[in-house]
Structure 1
Amino acid sequence: MELSSLLAVFGHPDDESLAAGGVLAQHAAAGARTAVVTATWAPTTQRAAELADALRVLGAGEPRMLGYADAKVPDSAPGRPRWCDVPMDEAVHRLVAEIREFRPEAR
């Protein structure tokens, strides 16, 4: 069966390239709608710009960032809680919202 859309979820920018870049690029090249959700780093940071560049190369659309701080880099999202400190209900709610918006499906 063919994959018609793929939504991947990662903790940090670069994880998408290091862990699954080939899979993302392969599905995008085959015509699958492909996207990435990243839990950490604010959209206004340099890492977010680098993520956007990587996603363009991989064919995975615009970054979908939850914007939480990286546990080891508080300046990654100033004023936001660290991803590891976010209440589970909040984290699930935010991720489910991304899933519902993108609506990935496998056929």
Structure 2
Amino acid sequence: MPARPASVLAVIPHPDDESYAMAGALHAAARAGARVHVLSATRGERGDDFTIAPPGRAGPSDLGARRSRELAASCAVLGASPPTFLDLPDGGLTALPAGRLEAALIDALREFSPRVVLGIGPDGAYGHADHLALAGALIQAASWAMAAPRLLWAAFPRGLFDPQWRRMAGGGDAALVAAAAPRLGVDSDTVDLTLPVDAAVKRASIEAHRSQLPDGHAESLFPPGIVAALLREEWYRLASGPPLPAGAAGVLDGLA
């Protein structure tokens, strides 16, 4: 009987985080025959819906349902299974009762039995509070798993997301990011894995999240230059679990 393909699990705070942070790795793993799953802590129900004219805030149930469909479309582009949701409150992960997020993640690790888990690292990309809460809970859950997966953080060049933090800190979303300027990103010599990106696939994954794109194009959500960098390559750092072998070219390399 043939061995069951290895499983890769992306754990994200909101729909679209998989596209910007790790679409290249997920697509490559799926093409290599891995079972690829995406687990979103929230449905992204809080915020603007740019498919409404004029752009504005849709009701939480309407936007959450739309963004759930968009994540499913993105997963299809990447070759991943339909997404799974924890249905936790968007913008509210830091306010959950102690241990609730960790317990939900432990259950997910038990269900999916991933060899590799991908998450957004402890800087939260741009200091987003939900991102930070999920990273902290994920490192705990992975350490408590019966079979410890390889946990890899998606990492970004030093300072790349500084303009996004400034935009949020100075606007209506200030409550969602750290009040003081955080140290964002990493230096290239601290990266454990660099992956090339199929830019067309990653762009299609991003643009599946139409409600979040002011003009429908991948570059329109973040300040100039950010998406161009994300479309070139992806960086990963080992957080815990089995190390990557020298010269690794994929997230599953070195795992029997």
The TM-score bracket by the shorter chain reads 0.7 to 0.9
Q: 2:107 aligns with which of 83, 97, 103?
A: 97
Once the two structures are TM-superposed, the CA of residue 40 in structure 1 deviates from its matched residue by 1.1
Distance 1:25 1:14 in 2: 15
Q: Alignment partner of 2:38: what SS?
A: strand
1:62 corresponding residue in structure 2: 82
Distance 1:103 1:6 in 2: 9
Once the two structures are TM-superposed, the CA of residue 45 in structure 1 deviates from its matched residue by 1.1
1:50 aligns with 2:60: no
Distance 1:26 1:88 in 2: 36
Percent identity (aligned): 40
Q: 1:25 aligns with which of 7, 24, 27?
A: 27
| CA RMSD of superposed structures (Å) | 1.9
Q: Of the two structures, which has the highest relative contact order with CA contacts closer than 8 Å and spacing of 6 or more?
A: 1
Give, as a single letter, the amino acid of the residue that structure 2 aligns with 1:35: H
Give, as a single letter, the amino acid of the residue that structure 2 aligns with 1:34: V
Q: 1:85 aligns with which of 75, 95, 101?
A: 95
Q: Alignment partner of 1:40: what SS?
A: coil
Residues 2-60 of structure 1: CA deviation (Å, up to 9, x unaligned): x8221111111000011000100000011011111111127961100000110111111
**TM-score, length of structure 1 as denominator length:** 0.80
1:8 corresponding residue in structure 2: 10
Distance 1:54 1:36 in 2: 10
Q: Alignment partner of 2:15: what SS?
A: coil
Distance 2:65 2:40 in 1: 13
Q: Alignment partner of 1:68: what SS?
A: coil
**TM-score, length of structure 2 as denominator length:** 0.35
Once the two structures are TM-superposed, the CA of residue 69 in structure 1 deviates from its matched residue by 1.8
Give, as a single letter, the amino acid of the residue that structure 1 aligns with 2:82: E
**Structure 1 or 2: more helix by fraction:** 1
1:79 corresponding residue in structure 2: none
Distance 1:20 1:35 in 2: 12
Structure 2 spans left out of the alignment, 5+ residues: 46-60, 116-251
Once the two structures are TM-superposed, the CA of residue 88 in structure 1 deviates from its matched residue by 3.3
Distance 2:111 2:99 in 1: 18
Distance 2:111 2:34 in 1: 16
Comparing 9-18 and 43-52, the one that deviates more: 43-52
Q: Alignment partner of 2:30: what SS?
A: helix
